[in-house]
Structure 1
Amino acid sequence: MPSQRPPSVDALARSLAPSGLPHPLCVEVARAAIAAGAPDRAAALAETRRRSLLTDVINATGVLLHTNLGRAPLAHAQPARAQTVEFDLETGERGSRQRAVGQLFAKLCGAESAMVVNNNAGAVLLVLAALAAGREVPVSRGESVEIGGSFRVPEVMEQSGCRLIDVGTTNRTRLDDYRRAVERPGADVALVMKVHPSNYRVDGFVEETTIAELATLGVPVMADIGSGLLDANAPWLRGAPPAWLAGEPAAVQAIADGADIITFSGDKLLGGPQAGIIAGRADLVDRCARHPLARALRPGGLVLRSLQDTALTYLDKRAATDLAFWRMVSRSVGELEASAERVVERLLAEFGVADGLVGVERMDALPGAGSAPGVTMPSAGLVVERDVLDALRASTPPIIARSRDHRTFLDLRAVEPEDHEVLVVELGRVLGA
């Protein structure tokens, strides 16, 4: 019997239109399926291809700023119009890309000036290249860290052209350690650098030098505060700052303590888009803005507009309600438990899920993305008495959870209330009778 003739590429590609992929991608999938001798698997291959694109997910991991899930979730919309990225409305001439957003972050940080680059690694690189190339920069051995993604302080300093001077020890660095580096014969110190360790914490027999102490050395102080907390007092929240923020470096306090220039991320505790903010003395920020690297690291109009909206949200004292990260933080454990109980009740009543298969438990959530290392915050969520991670990732939208000992945990702190319906429907699909 002759073998069945395979379908035409065009016909198979057109049959894949329900996948939502553009026709050229459907053609690629169809050709691949036919070449593999499996045209009947074309729809499955199209779905795999679709899921390889950037996709909205529900973060039920309990890690609020999950680096693999884009860190701070952020809603932003703007009209498709030209905007004054580098145009001065007063003069009608070319303007500064940094002026609009820079002035807002200068005010928020209590600094003379500020500017924006594409991320905090770029901010650190630019500051060192602009202010310390060819000269020495003392850094505590306890802060000569790898933050993630091969971002190693010594290597970034090497790329910037400055010379790292190790001072102190891994666990204890005193002011005298820095002073000896600054005052030794032949020293050519451009600035001293303090780095927030970000993703680890050393406890026990430890000592570090504060920004206020470093400010007495007579050379500029650079502080990479990393996580982007604007103010340790969190005035945008009701009541006292949450306990997990204790000890987290903040922009306002770093500037007030004497830091001449600071750098931090836009997509961590700030709750905005990926960006790196540089703030401090006007003359130092201006040197950074005029350095050739500034053009290579500059953000586009979308990021600038999104950062502007984020800054205005803080200035209007709307951050607790309008920024997703601070909404997550503000939810009480009681509120989360009540939401979890409602989900369980609906699963039992509407989907026939076996009693005892899903329950409510208290959990510990993490800020994530290297913010407040070693610190947790109380939370609550759902526990499924089996491992259903793969099935939940196949949901629409995918639900990302975590498992341990063949149990699946869905922490609700990072899940927006409007997504609870998705949890009900998809858990009902996976677990229902």
Structure 2
Amino acid sequence: MDSVSRSLRMIPNVNECLHSFIESGDLDDVPLSRLKYCTRIYLEKTRQEILRGDHISSSDRTSIIDGLKAFVRRYHRPRLERVVNGTGVIVHTNLGRSLLPSSSTDALLLAGQNYTNLEFDLETGKRGSRYAHVEDLLCELTGAEAALVVNNNAAAVLLALETLAKNKEVVVSRGQLIEIGGSFRIPDIMKRSGALLVETGTTNRTRIEDYRGAVTNETALLLRVHCSNYRIIGFTSEVSGPELVQLGKSLAVPVMEDLGSGCFIDLSRFGLAKEPTVQETVASGMGIVTFSGDKLLGGPQAGLILGKRIYIEQIKKNPLNRAVRIDKFTLAALESILRLYLDETLAVREIPTLAMIASPEQSVRERAKACQQRLAAKMKDLCSVDVVQVDSRVGGGAMPEQNIPSWAVALRPAVMTIHQLEKSLRRSSVPVIGRVENDLFLLDMRTVRDDELALIVEGLLGTLVVAAGGEQKTYPGEK
């Protein structure tokens, strides 16, 4: 009998595996249906690997069942997991964008565990509007005449265009026909809305005369788009929002601006470049302003539409609005965020996105040194641990040219490669995500909270101790 045949004979059947689980009690918290499902998957993977010539020497019943137990544990973990963000990117799209303050998570809990007055007017006892819970707040904070919230900014742009410009022309500068993450492209959104794109100006220079010359009797909107995650530099010019509003008034054509990230607070006081706030954009006379809820605002995923009442009321009545409306959880979280903005000092302190942007460089350095001290005391010869100066980013497509001075813990492992370390930390019980630069693994402390330092130490220690003791065992069926 050859080695492949012997290894195949070592594979237990499903019932043997289940009996082993019952005897050990290791997986009593996993439903039987899932145990059966995982066992079939794992045993078939093991069989295929043996046929390919992999893991033949380790293919005995004990190793297979041990590997199966580990596989079930990983498979049964929730898919959406907490991670530690050591990348230094504050609004990290891949890691969930903005974190919510405790007041928002309290509001989510209340909305989830109790009935609410989502669409019930407590004064009249009749059906109410879900948008009323945040519309007055948005108008108070921004000076807008009316407001509407949908499920994200792409939906906000689509809904506004479909309502106000379907089968009509919308004039946009060629320099603002952007594409951002997830293949969100302005020309595609306009096409889907039914609006007819009219390009004006050039990629790097667009003047007020270009807009004026592009307007016809079929023009429904002048559209201005924030360039989000890219910049054109050098020989450039663009028309400002207030200038475009004045032109729109003279031609009786409304102006819409997609602010992208959108911010209620002037961040230039924290060393970043000056960006128009939502309040300033509304005050310029824009007919419609759209922006995201989960970027610089620091709230949940949402698309906010503000502006003149005449346009917002039309958008509200669009049947498409129901398809992109927000639920009670978004409303609860968003209202709690907006209430914090009633006191700007409180907002900067309590909203994590703003707090991370505003955190003094010295505070970040102290956290990095505290992390270094904890690690150095335990790492010994496993890894070098230093504190280095780095740059953080806002992220989420906001301020792509802006660096925020920061400090990171720099790791150079002695028992594994940098890329092995990065991969192992991603697979920790609480994944730790950092970045690799100049043959160092960096954990930027601007995006790491004090209560996460222990998780970093635990993840690193577990990873490096296993590596120091030899290569981590790989079971059949495990890739």
From 426, 430, 435, the equivalent of 1:402 is 435
Q: TM-score normalised to the size of structure 1? A: 0.92
Matched, 1:315 2:323: no
| Correspondence for 1:227 | 261
Distance 1:310 1:19, change over 3 A: farther
> Match of 2:366, as an amino acid?
A
Distance 1:50 1:200, change over 3 A: farther
Q: CA deviation at 1:342?
A: 1.9
Matched, 1:416 2:449: yes
8 Å CA contact 2:422–2:434 kept in 1: the answer is: yes
Q: CA deviation at 1:73?
A: 1.6
- 1: distance between equivalents of 2:290 and 2:428? 39
Superposition map of 1:18-417 within 5 A: 18=27, 22-36=31-45, 37=47, 38-50=64-76, 53-75=79-101, 76-77=105-106, 78-79=109-110, 80-182=113-215, 184=216, 187-217=217-247, 218=249, 219-232=253-266, 241-244=269-272, 246-317=273-344, 318-349=346-377, 351-354=378-381, 357-386=384-413, 387=418, 388-417=421-450
> Match of 1:243, as an amino acid?
G
Distance 1:194 1:19, change over 3 A: farther
- SS of residue in 2 equivalent to 1:306: helix
- SS of residue in 2 equivalent to 1:362: strand
Structure with more of its chain in helix, by fraction: 2
- SS of residue in 1 equivalent to 2:118: coil
Q: Bigger shift: 102-111 or 119-128?
A: 102-111
8 Å CA contact 1:146–1:153 kept in 2: the answer is: yes
Q: CA deviation at 1:141?
A: 0.2
- 1: distance between equivalents of 2:30 and 2:401? 42
Alignment deviations for residues 18-44 of structure 1 (CA, whole Å, 9 cap, x no partner): 596555333311221233444442123
> Match of 2:129, as an amino acid?
S
- 1: distance between equivalents of 2:298 and 2:118? 22
- 1: distance between equivalents of 2:25 and 2:270? 50
- SS of residue in 1 equivalent to 2:341: helix
- 2: distance between equivalents of 1:141 and 1:357? 50
- 2: distance between equivalents of 1:17 and 1:249? 57
> Match of 2:168, as an amino acid?
R
CA RMSD in angstroms comes to 2.2
- 1: distance between equivalents of 2:339 and 2:424? 41
Alignment deviations for residues 43-78 of structure 1 (CA, whole Å, 9 cap, x no partner): 232244245700000000111111110111225132
The runs of 5 or more residues in structure 2 that have no matched partner are: 48-63, 469-479
Residue-pair matches, total: 422
Give 1 or 2 for the bigger CA radius of gyration.
Answer: 2
8 Å CA contact 2:205–2:237 kept in 1: the answer is: yes
Distance 1:51 1:362, change over 3 A: farther
- SS of residue in 1 equivalent to 2:305: strand
8 Å CA contact 2:348–2:355 kept in 1: the answer is: yes
> Match of 2:297, as an amino acid?
L
- 2: distance between equivalents of 1:74 and 1:22? 33
8 Å CA contact 1:13–1:29 kept in 2: the answer is: no
The runs of 5 or more residues in structure 1 that have no matched partner are: 235-239
- 2: distance between equivalents of 1:428 and 1:343? 13
Q: CA deviation at 1:420?
A: 1.2
